Structure 1
Amino acid sequence: MGHSEFDEEISIGDKGGKDEVVIETGAVPTEAFEQGNTWSAKVQRLAGKFKIEQRGIERVPENERTDTNGVANVGTMWLAANMVVSSFAIGALATPVFFLGFVDSVLTIFFFNILGILPVAFFSTFGPVFGLRQMVLSRFFYGFYGVKIIAVFNILACIGWSCVNTIVGAQLLHAVNNDVPGFAGVLIIAIATFIVTLFGYKIVHAYEFWSWIPCFIVFLIILGEFAHSGKFSNLPMGVGSSEAGSVLSFAASVFGYATGWTSYAADYTCYQPTTISRTKVFFSTLCGLAFPLLFTQMLGAAVMTASINTPAYSDGYANSGIGGLLAAVLVPPLGKFGQFCLVILAMSIVANNCPNIYSVSLSMQVLARWTARVPRFIWTFLGTCCYIAIAIPGYSHFESVLENFMLIIAYWLAIYEGVSLTEHFVFKKGFGGYAPEIYDKPSLLPPGIAAITAFCFGIFGAVMGMSQVWFIGPIGKHIGGPFGGDIGFELAFAFTAISYFVFRKIEYRHFSR
C-alpha cells in the first residue's frame, strides 16, 4: 500500500549478506542507505567514510535525533543566515526602487518582517514532533502527488535566492578589488557554500552557530562609521496614493524575504528530540530571524537615504551596487581594514546560502522515484552548478532581478501558507490530527485535489493584485497612483485560504482522508 519510492528500493530482502530490512514507519536505519551493489549504495558507502550525511527525505528515527543543543542551534541558524549583506540590500531598496523616506521604510520593515517570520517559526516546531522535512510534511497538506508541484516552486526559490545572494557577495568582492570580476566572486562564494552543505545537517548548524559573530561586528562598525560621518538624511515621508502604492510594493519585497524560509523551516529541526519544547523552538526561531532582519534592513535603509545627498555614496552604488555603497562607508575612514570588513561581509553570503542549497536537494528527492534514489549530496552539487550558471550572467542586472524575484517569492509562499495553515488549524485541528507514519503512503494522505485547486485560485489572486514592471493587475492598478501598488501576496493568501476551506470540505466528504 503506497510505499515511497525510496522505501520500495531498500526493503527488498537480503542484499550483500545482510538481513532483510522491513520498513513500517518510514524510519530508515543508517546502514540501509549502504545496502546492495547499486551505484547509489556504493556512493552512499563512500559518503559514509567521509562523515557526509546520508539521510535524505526519510523520516528521522528517535535514536538519530541527537541534536541536543536544539534551541541554541535553531536561533543561531537563522541569526547567521540573515545577519548578511543581502538582508542589508533589501532595506537599501526602499529609496532607489520604491522612493520611500526613512521613517516609512523603517515602519514597513518592522511590521512586514514580523508578519513574514511568524510562519517560519511555526513550521520549525513541526521538525521535532514528526522528524520530517518541510517538503515531506507538505504531503499532509498537498497530498503525495500534489506536493511535487510545491517542490518545483521550492526548488526555483532556492536556486533564485542563491543567485541573488551570491551576486550581492560578488559585488562586495569587486568593490574591494576591481581586478576581481563578477564571475570570480560568484565562484568563490558558491564553492565555499558547497563545501559546508556537502556534509549535511550537523556541519551546516555548526557553521551557522559561529559565523554570525564576525558579520555582526562588521555591521556594528558600519553603523558606527555611518553615524560618525553625519551623512544621515531623514527624507520626508510621502503622502497620498503614490506613497501607499510604494509602501505596499516595498512591503511585498520585505515579506517575501522574511517568509522565504517557510518552505524549508522544518529541515533544520528534524534531528531534534521530541521532548524539546515547541514553545522554545518557536521563540528561538522568531528571535533568531527578527533581530538580524530588522537590524540589517533598517541600517540599509538609513545608509541608502544618505546617498541622496552624498555623492560618494551615490557614485559607489552606481558603480558597484550594494558593494560600492558599503565601500563608500567603510574604506575612506578605515582603509585596508575597511576592505577587510567588506570581504567578511561578502563571505557572509555563505551562511545565507547554506539553507537554500541544503534544502534544494531535499526538494529534488520529493519529485520522483529516481530523484529519491540519488543521494542528497549529489543534488547539492548539481544545484550549486545551476545557480552559478544563472548568477554569472545575472550579475549586472541585480537590482531589477532582486525586486521582481522578491515579489514573486511573496506570492507563492502566501499561497503555500494559505493551504497549510488552513489544513492544520481547521481540518487537522492541531498536531494531534497527524499520523506521521503514513508520510510515504499515498492512499492514506489527502488526495491533494483541493490543495492544487486552491493553489490555482491563489495564483489568480496574486495576478489580480500584483504590480510588476511587466504587469499590473486590475486591483493593483487602482492602488497607489499611476504605478499601482502591490497587494498580490495579501490577495493570494486570502483567495487560497477561502477556496481551500470550501474545496477541502467537499474533498474530505468524498475521500474521508
Structure 2
Amino acid sequence: MAAPSPTLSSAELGHNQHHGVDNQTYGDEKVTPSPYEGEDVSNPDHLAEKEPEQVLASRNSMLGKMYQRFFSMGVEARGVERVLEDDRDPKNAINNLLMWFSVNTVLTTIPIGALGQAVFSLTLPHTIATIFCFTALGCITTAFIATLGPQTGCRTMVISRFSFGYAGGVILSIFNILTQLGFSVTCVVLGGQTLASINNTLPLTAGIIIVALCALIICFFGYDLLHIYERYAYIVITIIVIMLFALGGSSPAGYDLVAQSANEPTGANLAANILSFGGIMFGAVSGWSPVAADFNMRLPADTSPTYVFILTFFGVYIPVVFVSILGACLMTIQNPDYVAAYADNGMGALLSQTFSPWGGGGKFLMVVLSLSVIANNVPNTYSAALSIQALGKPFQRIPRFLWTVLVFLIYTIAGVIGRESFSAILSNLLSILSYWTAFFVVVVAEEHFLFRRPSQGGYNLDDYATPSKLPVGIAGIIAGMCGIAGAVIGMSQVYYTGPVAILIGDEFGGDLGFELAAVFAGVVYPPLRWLERRHFGR
C-alpha cells in the first residue's frame, strides 16, 4: 500500500519555510533580527511553535527558572505545538525505523504470541499463520498514520482534529490516554514479574517500580534522548531472542509442533478462535497508530510518504512477528518443569526456566531481557503525556515533562494493583484497542484521501489549535459512535459476546469487533462529512 503524496498547499509550504531567520548586515554593523520579526506576536500558539522554552518559562514566574534549568539540561520543551519546517531534520527517518525495532523487540511481545495456545488452543502452525496475517493488517494502520507526521508537523492527536474536530480530538485523546496507560501497565507488570522470577527475594511490587522509573527518566527528557536510546536498544535483545529460540528447541526443553492438536477446535469454532486471536494481534500493532506521527513530525514536509510508510511498516512488522512467534514456540514445550513454571508464574517464569541450563549467565540475560520493556514503555509514557496536553489549552500550559510524571504514577499504581492478573489484562486490553483504533484510522484516512487532496485545498495547518476553523466534528463523532456500535455487536470478550460474534462457533463466538468497527465508520463518514462541509464550509 503506497501512501499519498504530501497534500500541503504551496502557500502552506511557503509559510513553513519562511520562518528561518538569517543575520543581516547593514553597513559595517551586523544586526540579528528578533526571532519573532514579521510574526504575529499576539498569537501564543505561533510563538510556542517557534520558542516553546521561552513561552513555557514566561507563563509562570514562580516556576519559570526551574523550567529553564530543565531545558538547559536537554529536557524537551515542545509539547503538542506544530513543528515548523526549519526545525526538522531528514536524518530522523532511519532513526524512526530503528525506534520501531527497539519498541517491539521486547519482552512484552513474547506473551502476545503465547496467547494463541494459552487462551485459544491453536496449534503452532495456525498460531504462526494468524500472527503473519493479522499483524500485517495492523501495521498498515500504524504506517499510514506515520506518513501524516512529516506532512503536517503535528502530533497524532492533533492531526485527528482535522477529521473529528476539536471536540472529537479531545474524545480521542482520552481514548489514547487510556490506551497508553493500559500498554504501560502490561509493560511494568511483565518486567516486574520477570525480575521477581530471577530473584525470589525481590518483591513483585519492587520490580514493577524499578521498570517504571527507568522509563520515566527517558520520557522526562523527551524526543532526543528517546531516539538515542531506541536507536540501539533492539540490538542486544535481538541476540537474546535468538538464544531463547535455540534453548527452547534443545534438551531438556524441545518444541512439540503438534502439542495442541488434541485440544484445538475444528470447523466454525476454529475460525472463531483464529478471528479472536487475530483481533489481539491486530490490536497489538494498531495500538501504535494513535501515536505513530508523534515520533516523525520532525521530518521535512517533502519526505516521501511511501518511504515513511515502508520504514514504519517493516519497522513494526518484522520484530512483532519474530518475537511473538518465540512466545508461540515456547508454549509448545511439554517438559513438566517448563509447564509448571508457566502455570505457577506466567511467561516470566517460563523464560527463566528456559535460561536455567546456563545458570548465572542465564539469570544475567533474564535481567537484561526484563529491562527491555523500558523500550516499549517509553513511547507509551511519552505519548500519553502529549495526549493530556491535547485535551485543551489549559492542559497545554503545563509542560509535557510534568504530565509524564503523572502518567508514571498512574500506571505504576495500576500495575501494582493488577499485578496478579497479567494474562487477562493483556488479552482484554489488546482486543479492545483494536476496536477504537480501527475506526480512528479509517476516518482519518477517508478525510485524508477524499477531503484533503490538493484539489480540495489540503490542510490549513495554521488552524490546528483554532476550534472555530477546524471541522465541526459532527461527521467524525457520529462515525466513531457507529464504529463503537459495530465493535459492540462484533466483540467476543469474557464479559460480553455480541450478537454477530456469537454466530461464529458454538461457545464463545469469534471476535469481529475491529472489522465491523472499521466498516461501520467507513460507510458512514464520507456522506456525513460531505454534508458537514457543505453546511459549515469547513
Report Cα offsets for 1:249-268 as digits up to 9, x if no partner: 10111100011100011100
Residue 442 of structure 1 is matched in structure 2 by 467
* Aligned-residue RMSD, C-alpha: 1.8
Relative to the length of structure 2, the TM-score reads 0.88
CA distance in 2, matches of 1:210, 1:114: 24
SS state at 2:240 partner? helix
3-state SS, counterpart of residue 292 of structure 1: helix
Match of 1:433, SS? Answer: coil
- Match for 1:358: what amino acid? Y
Where does residue 316 of structure 2 map in the other structure?
289
Letter in 2 for 1:391: G
Residue matched to 2:380? 356
Are residue 299 (structure 1) and residue 363 (structure 2) matched? no
Matches for 1:220-235 after TM superposition, within 5 Å:
220-229=242-251, 231-235=254-258
Deviation at 1:338, TM superposition (A): 0.8
Partner of 2:7: none
Structure 2: which 5+ residue stretches go unaligned?
1-35
Secondary structure at 2:288 match in 1: helix
Q: Which amino acid aligns with 1:52?
A: V
What amino acid does structure 2 have at the position aligned with 1:63? D
Number of residues of Structure 1 aligned to a counterpart in Structure 2: 492
Counterpart CA distance in 2 for 1:69 and 1:348 is 25
Counterpart in 2 of 1:489?
Answer: 514
d(CA) in 2 for partners of 1:181 and 1:400?
21
Deviations 1:245-301 (A, max 9, x none): 110110111100011100011100012222433222221111111111010011111
**1:339-354 aligned within 5 A:** 339-354=363-378
Q: Which residue of structure 1 lines up, in the alignment, with residue 273 of structure 2? A: 246
**Shift of residue 33, structure 1, vs aligned partner:** 3.0
Checking the alignment, whether the CA contact within 8 Å between 1:25 and 1:438 is kept in structure 2 is no
Q: How does 1:422-501 map to 2 (within 5 A)?
A: 422-429=446-453, 433-501=458-526
CA 1:24 to 1:176, structure 2 compared with 1: closer, same or farther past 3 Å?
A: closer
1:414 to partner: Cα distance: 0.9
Q: Which residue of 1 aligns with 2:123?
A: 101
Please name the residue that 1:403 is paired with. 427
Identify which of 273, 285, 291 aligns with 1:258: 285
| Alpha-carbon offset, residue 25 of structure 1 | 7.7
Following TM superposition, by how much is the alpha carbon of 1:418 offset from its aligned partner in structure 2, in angstroms? 2.2
How far 1:83 moved relative to its partner?
Answer: 0.1
| Partner amino acid, structure 2, of 1:443 | S
Alignment partner, residue 314 of structure 1: 339
Query: Is 2:171 aligned against 1:171?
Result: no
Percent identical: 38
Q: Tell me which stretches of 4 or more aligned residues in structure 1 moved more than 4 Å.
A: none
Pair 1:512-2:537 in alignment: yes
Name 1:4's counterpart in structure 2: none
Once residues 483 and 428 of structure 1 are traced to their aligned partners in structure 2, the CA distance between those partners, rounded to angstroms, is: 42
Whether the aligned pair in 2 keeps the contact of 1:174 and 1:320 (CA below 8 Å) is no
Q: Deviation at 1:95?
A: 0.6
Q: What's the offset of the Cα at 1:310?
A: 2.0
Deviations 1:58-97 (A, max 9, x none): 111223214x422221111110000011111100111111
Q: Is the 8 A contact 2:93 2:296 kept in 1?
A: no
Structure 1 segments unaligned to the other structure (5+ residues): 1-17
- Counterpart of 1:33 (choices 43, 46, 56) is 56
Cα displacement string for residues 26-84 of structure 1 (whole angstroms, at most 9, x for unaligned residues): 33324333335434644432321221000111111223214x42222111111000001
Q: Judging changes above 3 Å, is the alpha-carbon distance between structure 1 residues 481 and 429 closer, same or farther for their aligned structure 2 residues?
A: farther
Q: State the shift of 1:366 in Å.
A: 1.1
State the alpha-carbon separation in 2 of the partners of residues 25 and 339 from structure 1: 51
Any idea what SS the aligned residue of 1:469 has? coil
Gap change, CA 1:179 and 1:484, over 3 Å in 2: same
TM-score (norm 1): 0.93
Deviations 1:138-180 (A, max 9, x none): 1111111211000000000010000011111111111111111
Look up the equivalent residue of 2:504 and give its one-letter code.
Answer: I
